[in-house]
A and B are shown apart, each in its own frame.
Chain A
Amino acid sequence: AQKVTQAQTEISVVEKEDVTLDCVYETRDTTYYLFWYKQPPSGELVFLIRRNSFDEQNEISGRYSWNFQKSTSSFNFTITASQVVDSAVYFCALSEGQTGANNLFFGTGTRLTVIP
């Protein structure tokens, strides 16, 4: 069965600090996708990244970077030089397989608060 675990419920950092949000997943599929979404107080889920199971290359996008390690079933997200606007709930999600619903299984989220 699929599962996504975000062990950090809440994190607070001071502005300009770096912060890493952890995500561990479980799946029996060999083909799957991993996602990160940001949910600000407005409620909308903002897409950040999608990574497929065959691409373990780490990715950097501005202040954001992602570390995908199949050996430990982890897909961690790092924000460098955090800003107040980064305050939100961040969700990691898993989508299995190349056929079927491809619905997303979400973790319980990590609430990030960046203190000015």
Chain B
Amino acid sequence: DTGVSQNPRHKITKRGQNVTFRCDPISEHNRLYWYRQTLGQGPEFLTYFQNEAQLEKSRLLSDRFSAERPKGSFSTLEIQRTEQGDSAMYLCASSLWTGGHNYGYTFGSGTRLTVV
């Protein structure tokens, strides 16, 4: 296992189109997180899953955003009707939650979205 994998690395889309990103976490990790990073800022939390359950969503996650982790392994993040303000780097991270502690928090390389 080589770490957290995200696809695609780059995506350019026209305003109003839908886009979907994929994240493959480290296989033994049960938690998966999505973050968004805009230019010049630190990453901001969007949502996270424990196994297949989506347990928390940030207020940044508007109704146009939806995330799934159907089998508790890979996850997808879909943005519907994209807007120019959605242009950002979307980062995925995974970790192992056990015994009340979070281990091995690892980020992927991200998907850079450009909405034109």
Contact = CB atoms under 8 A, between A and B. Distances in A.
Q: Report the contact-size class of chain A (Cβ under 8 Å from the partner).
A: 20 to 34
Contact of A95 (B44, B102, B107): B102
Q: Report the contact-size class of chain B (Cβ under 8 Å from the partner).
A: 20 to 34
Interface string B90-111: 0101010100111001111110
Interface stretch (B16-24, B35-43, B65-73, B78-86): B35-43
B42 A101 contact: no
Given A99-B100, A102-B97, A103-B33, A42 B109 contact: yes
Given A43-B109, A45-B43, A103 B100 contact: no
Contacts of A109: 40-42
A104 interface: yes
Interface centre among B35, B42, B56, B89 (most CB of A within 10 A): B42
B19 to A, nearest CB: 18
A93 B102 CA distance: 15
B112 interface: yes
Nearest to A43: B110
